[in-house]
Amino acid sequence: MTSPPAQASTSVGIVTPQTAQFDTPIALRSGAVIPRYQLVYETYGELNAARSNAVLICHALSGNHHVAGRYTEHDKYPGWWDNMVGPGKPIDTNRFFVIGVNNLGGCHGSTGPSSINPETGKPWGSRFPLVTVDDWVETQARLANRLGIEQFAAVVGGSLGGMQALQWSITYPDRLRHCLVIAAAPKLTAQNIAFNDVARQAILSDPEFHGGDYYAYGVTPKRGLRLARMLGHITYLSDDVMGTKFGRILRSGTFQFGYDVEFEIESYLRYQGDKFAASFDANTYLLMTKALDYFDPTHHYESGHLSEALAPAKANFLVIAFTSDWRFAPERSREIVKALLDNERNVTYAEVKSTHGHDAFLMVDPYYHEVVRTYMGNIAL
């Protein structure tokens, strides 16, 4: 291996999203049919002549297609997984052709509740059907067909993205050689569903929600979405990291005996909530949390055994969990590992010591990145 030149950029640079239009109707798990739709995606690196180096990155709850790089030179923030994807990075775009896609139902360009329903000329709103992880895999497979990719070198995802990667290995066992399931779970616990429902209730009970058709009223249920995000955010962090970062620090140094922002943590959460509410669609948040709740590969099996559900999978797996992730704890990843062991699949499981809670999968950690880098580096193209 040669070391990269001193000034080698590790960014994919300036990127431009693309749009794929699909005119073949898609029948969803719910029974609803979407007659035509579009998916927004980004690609980084080059597809090789054998078309064997494609990697699909599946996004998490509030994610989108913008995985790496920047839209303009002065863009303040890069894509959401810029520390993982790029030239010389763990998922090396010098080697792989990486695809990020905004899921169906999203609010960043793919057809979703805020898109115009061609049949009514108005936003879909409450009429947009619920979508599931299976549905997403189907739309992603169609996008792969469009791009001429028969088989992915790897399908990769964290959290809800990890569930999509896992579902890929079951639905299309021959269409991926490797499956990276990071900070995920085989299905949500009751506690997880409970958190999601509180988040949804915050949105549903916002007076500006208007049954999901707020677009027509020129308003958005910002207060509900903000609350939903604040709650979500708490569950993605750990008590440790909140304590270290914010502790009980008071903004003004003394108690004010009121309900305005006093503690730094309150200020932080409200800021995060506001930022999110300004950029994300409430209907999409509802729909994505339902997709999380519904995900359960054992649903079709009487036994309810994950081992049975994963029996069709052929991919080689890398499963990664983070010690302080209490939303999708390491025990949940070990359930996936156990089911893969029962099926004698190739699987490596890394349990990364981290204080960052669920969000750790988005952060730089030398061990975590080394495992992904080494694993990806070993993939034959």
Partner 1 sequence: MNASVRPDFEAIGAWVRPGAKVLDLGCGDGSLLRYLRESRNAFGYGVEIADEKIAACVRNGVNAIQSDLESGLSTFASHSFDYVILSQTLQAMRHTEEIIREMLRVGREAIVSFPNFGHLNHRLQVLAGHMPVSHDLPYQWYDTPNIHLCTLKDFEHFCATHGVEILERLVLHRGRRVRLLPNLLGSLAVYRLQARR
Instruction: Assess whether 325 carries a catalytic annotation.
Output: yes
Q: Rule CB under 8 A: is residue 344 a binding residue for partner 1? A: yes
Which residue type, as a one-letter code, is found at position 352?
V
CA–CA dist 95, 324 (Å, integer): 32
The span of 106-114, 257-265, 295-303, 371-379 binding partner 1 (CB under 8 A) equals 371-379
* Residue 355 interacting with partner 1 (CB under 8 A): no
Active-site choice (206, 325, 354, 356): 325
Q: Is 347 in the site for partner 1 (CB under 8 A)?
A: yes
Place of tokens 């059907």: 129
Q: Is 233 exposed, middle or buried (0-12, 13-18, 19+ CB in 10 A)?
A: middle
In the set 349, 357, 359, 362, which binds partner 1 (CB under 8 A)? 349
Shorter beta-carbon distance to partner 1: residue 145 or 374: 374
Which residue, among 159, 156, 150, has the nearest Cα to 168 in the 3D structure?
Answer: 156
Shortest gap between Cβ of 316 and partner 1 (angstroms)?
9
| Contact status: 342 vs partner 1 (CB under 8 A) | yes
Using CA atoms of 277, 280, 284, 286 in order, give the dihedral in degrees to the nearest 10. Answer: -20
Termini Cα distance of the chain: 17
The minimum distance between CB 80 and partner 1, in angstroms, equals 25
| 348 touches 375 (CB < 8 A) | yes
- Smallest distance, Å, CB 202 to partner 1? 37
Q: Tell whether residue 229 is among the known ligand binding residues.
A: yes
State yes or no: residue 338 binds partner 1 (CB under 8 A). Answer: yes
Pairing of strands 85-86, 91-92: parallel
DSSP 129: P
Closer residue to partner 1 (CB): 264 or 342: 342
Count of CB atoms situated within 10 Å of the CB of 264:
16
Q: Considering only residues 261-290, where is the footprint of partner 1 by CB under 8 A?
A: none
Site for partner 1 in 299-318 (CB under 8 A): 318
For this structure, is 279 an active site residue?
Answer: no
Point out which span in 18-26, 228-236, 239-247, 350-358 binds partner 1 (CB under 8 A). Answer: 350-358
Contacts of 252 by beta carbon, 8 Å cutoff, 6+ apart: 262
Query: Which segments within the chain are labelled E, that is strand?
Result: 18-22, 26-27, 33-34, 37-44, 54-58, 85-86, 91-92, 97-101, 116-117, 122-123, 152-158, 176-182, 316-322, 347-352
| Residue 370 in the binding site for partner 1 (CB under 8 A) | yes
- 115, 159, 238, 333: which is the annotated catalytic residue? 159
Exactly one of 337, 360, 361, 364 binds partner 1 (CB under 8 A); that residue is 337
CA 74 to chain CA centroid, Å, is 25
Could you tell me the smallest distance in angstroms from the CB atom of residue 235 to partner 1? 24
198 binds partner 1 per the rule CB under 8 A:
no
Q: Catalytic amino acids?
A: 159, 325, 358
Residue ranges that bind partner 1, judged by CB under 8 A: 318, 334, 337-338, 341-342, 344, 346-353, 367, 370-371, 374-375, 378
Q: Which residues are annotated as a binding site?
A: 229, 359
Residue ranges of the annotated binding site for substrate are 229, 359
